[in-house]
Structure 1
């Protein structure tokens, strides 16, 4: 959903099509300077008219929001202090921000998941005890079968909630990565879009300089980051990396996938495919960011599978943890490619 919405915001604004940027230090003797200045004034007037006419909409509000403004400042400062070209600066800022925001949240999410798995092992004994108590209460208080089942289910629910409170592992906390990753992805995408199109103020000298730097801040087949990648290399790479993330998560499960998990995997596979044509319509600067972000996510997911890494960051060992995750992934890939005759047996970690 976020990908489809960003298609609208990341497309080139109409105002940017008629605006030509200039440096403040341009020579006044240059005959084209007055025309450029007039174009700048016309662009600013168009923005004001759009705002007055109520044509800005939600995405313009997002473009002018405070979080996006802060993100633009961060991106510019990272570029200025690092001295790197813009494509490398975008990659560096992506890795830094995801290391600070999403990596700690991912580790915390895995800790919560491990705690939930551990308390789930305590429930069978509790359930058996509650069954005995329910049977005794039914006989003692002459309850009907329906009354007994109601009390029994309430007792189980209360015991489960007590365990969750005891270990501080509410299941909603397993969604914490999305709460941090989605806003970060949206804000950085819109901030890069603003930098490319000199928004929200096209008359700003800094905005003009940044956009000019981006026109020569690319690499290889995309020297200009303000135009789309006509080779489609980055958009296709984005789709493949996103699909790889989904497949790694699916193949690293030791338990059979539920129907809900299969539906979710198919939905995310569809979104990964949809992102390819979306990436074909946006500036290359955004494609560089999206590919860098997805690459970080893939590396993060592979790294967090390692038992040594999990112990080093304090994730508890569980029964479903894989002893040799990378060997298992490679064998499952071979099986999918029909290079192996039988699917490999999962190897849970020893207790």
Structure 2
């Protein structure tokens, strides 16, 4: 709605400017040569046409973005999420800030936690079948050498057959243990849509969308103006103290560093690149969070806090066995001690040698 108003104002200014230019040229001294006046009018017409075409492009782009957000705001999943948030608030009797936190814990506990556990199971299975590959590779090498001698293959032909055999055996192991590597992305398939739908649903509740004229929307928006806590009593305005936006950035950075510090194998180049990308996104989210209503900030901080606690929770070997995640060689025996040593190392409290000795003990 704000974009439409901005575009309409811009359009009126552009039209007024073009009309004003026309008046200037029409009021030029009549003593100028006719050819000169015609040239000026032609230049004015061409400039006006260019300005109009540029304005049309800008309006088309703006209307496209507005149309996308309007479609998302009016979508069925967002409508269901709005209704769920409203029902949780009404039946729980909690203030809106606590209702947002409770719904976040509920949805993430029902959706993303099981998916995360399943992802860990798939990763553990992949690690286990990878341990079977060295023996298979040695056997295939012997078979390739025998086939090369028997069928008089060239080195290139032998390498092609050998690589195909390795790929085939790897695929057989994946099918046997039902652990396709693409399944390790299952958390993103569940978490990203949930994050988007709940964010848009909260935004709709704050701005009384999709229909501001309904009494229900007006009541919810009014409740949110007094449904905050502490330094943000009004959830429909931004957090002027910037506490929640900064907390959001720090928690997201904490999740990334936690995953980096608990990795038992050296990070690949792609992993390092992705870590840096996510670090950058965590920092970018801080100014973004400074511009949205506090209701959204409360949700984002609660969701990120759940993610951090979830990652810490699933580091425990006892918890992993309890939820059925197989034990692997890459699993840390004393993950919290190892994590604390990593933190001390990064902050310069201990040297890397002490951390390495502790890792050897584990």
Counterpart residue number, 1:174 = 184
Counterpart residue number, 1:50 = none
Q: Is 1:134 the equivalent of 2:149?
A: no
Q: What is the SS of the residue equivalent to 2:352?
A: coil
Separation in structure 2 between the aligned mates of residue 311 and residue 348 of structure 1, nearest angstrom: 23
Separation in structure 1 between the aligned mates of residue 308 and residue 301 of structure 2, nearest angstrom: 10
Query: How far 1:204 moved relative to its partner?
Result: 1.2
Relative to 1, partners in 2 of residues 1:121 and 1:283: Cα closer, same or farther, differing over 3 Å? Answer: same
Matched-pair contact (CA < 8 Å) for 2:3–2:66: no
Match of 1:340 among 339, 350, 359: 350
Relative to 1, partners in 2 of residues 1:273 and 1:59: Cα closer, same or farther, differing over 3 Å? Answer: same
Any residues of structure 2 matched to 1:226-305 within 5 Å, and which? 226-305=236-315
Which runs of 5 or more structure 2 residues have no equivalent in the other structure? Answer: 6-62
Query: Please, what TM-score do these two structures have when normalized by structure 2?
Result: 0.81
Counterpart residue number, 1:187 = 197
Matched-pair contact (CA < 8 Å) for 2:226–2:234: yes
Query: How far 1:54 moved relative to its partner?
Result: 7.1
Q: What is the SS of the residue equivalent to 1:267?
A: helix
Q: Is 1:112 the equivalent of 2:131?
A: no
Separation in structure 2 between the aligned mates of residue 277 and residue 54 of structure 1, nearest angstrom: 25
Relative to 1, partners in 2 of residues 1:238 and 1:72: Cα closer, same or farther, differing over 3 Å? Answer: same
Query: Please, what TM-score do these two structures have when normalized by structure 1?
Result: 0.84
Structure 1 runs of 4+ off > 6 angstroms?
A: 11-15
Q: In proportion to residue count, which structure has more helix?
A: 2
Match of 1:100 among 105, 110, 115: 110
Matched-pair contact (CA < 8 Å) for 1:324–1:347: no
Separation in structure 1 between the aligned mates of residue 308 and residue 325 of structure 2, nearest angstrom: 19
CA RMSD of aligned residues (A): 1.8
Separation in structure 2 between the aligned mates of residue 259 and residue 55 of structure 1, nearest angstrom: 36
Any residues of structure 2 matched to 1:322-337 within 5 Å, and which? 322-337=332-347
Relative to 1, partners in 2 of residues 1:332 and 1:54: Cα closer, same or farther, differing over 3 Å? Answer: closer
Query: How far 1:341 moved relative to its partner?
Result: 1.6
Larger radius of gyration: 2
Cα deviation, 1:6-56, whole Å, max 9, x if unaligned, reads: xxxxx97778xxxxxxxxxxxxxxxxxxxxxxxxxxxxxxxxxxxxx8773
Query: How far 1:59 moved relative to its partner?
Result: 1.0
Match of 1:66 among 71, 76, 79: 76
Separation in structure 2 between the aligned mates of residue 109 and residue 186 of structure 1, nearest angstrom: 21
Cα deviation, 1:232-289, whole Å, max 9, x if unaligned, reads: 0000000000000000000000111111100000000000000000000000000000
Q: What is the aligned residue count?
A: 304
Which runs of 5 or more structure 1 residues have no equivalent in the other structure? Answer: 1-10, 16-52
Instruction: Using CA pairs under 8 Å that are at least 6 residues apart, name the structure with larger relative contact order, 1 or 2.
Output: 1
Cα deviation, 1:119-177, whole Å, max 9, x if unaligned, reads: 00000000000000000000001111000000000000000000000000000000000
Relative to 1, partners in 2 of residues 1:140 and 1:103: Cα closer, same or farther, differing over 3 Å? Answer: same
Separation in structure 1 between the aligned mates of residue 85 and residue 176 of structure 2, nearest angstrom: 42
Query: How far 1:75 moved relative to its partner?
Result: 0.3
Counterpart residue number, 2:224 = 214
Counterpart residue number, 1:203 = 213
Q: Is 1:122 the equivalent of 2:115?
A: no
Separation in structure 2 between the aligned mates of residue 222 and residue 148 of structure 1, nearest angstrom: 70
